[in-house]
Amino acid sequence: MPKIDRNSYGTLAIVFVIAAVFIYAINHLVPSPWVKWPLIVLAWVFCIWQLFFFRVPDRECVGSGKTVSSAADGKVVIVDEYYDDEYLKRECKRVCVYMDFFDVHANFWPVSGEIVYYKYHPGKHMLAFKPKASEENEHTSCCIRTESGAEVLFKQHAGTFARRIVNYAKPGMKVVAGEQCGIIKFGSRMDILLPVDADIKVACGDHATACETVIAQLL
């Protein structure tokens, strides 16, 4: 049995109750087995997909205080230079990973260190891969300061269908790269803002695997 995100038990309970009611109704109201059984199988497939979607995979982490690992599964959609006017107040290198409906949506600390900043921002729900989504969508911002003093700011962005972001960050918390930091429910995006001298290890179009893909090396 896979480990399921602890903040998703309620969501999964609702999904299984709806599926059970659907299957019961189909079983009693649809006489044709050629229609009934495909619909029942479809309901079970949907339930299994939801279990897959909300699972927390057990992975070997490559991240550390110097190595930044991906905080999410998905496709790298942006690698650029970006000015952060929220907390860092300086030019950064930015790597954005887009999670679609088939990616695991559990998120993980990208680097080891201490939480020095955290803020939740309410906002819109545009498609998460659009550039303006980073500024206008509902999101969280969390900054980790490593032992060497480097600061890595990462943002969980809600997408068109995402309506709940969970992050366990609290200022002063010590965190370890690769441990779960939260979850974004349904299509969404993760932005990682890095020092300008960071050595980026991914490019647009690459597929990133949380904990296992090296995003950047800090100097």
Could you read off the pLDDT of 137-186 as tens digits, one per residue? Answer: 688 999 999 999 999 999 998 765 555 788 999 999 999 999 999 988 76
Domain ranges across the chain:
6-53, 67-217
Evaluate if residue 133 carries a pLDDT over 70.
no
8, 69, 112, 188: which is the annotated catalytic residue? 188
List residues bridging with 79 in a β-sheet.
95
Q: Lowest mean pLDDT of 19-33, 40-54, 170-184, name the range.
A: 40-54
Burial 11-49 (b: 16+ CB within 10 A, else e): bbeebeeebeeebeebeeeeeeeeebeeebeebeeebee
For range 45-62, the mean pLDDT: 83
- Given strand 165-167, what is the order of strands in its sheet? 106-108, 180-184, 165-167
The answer to whether 134 is a known catalytic residue is no
CATH of domain 67-217: 2.70.70.10
Distances (CA, A) of 106 to 3, 11, 156: 11, 14, 11
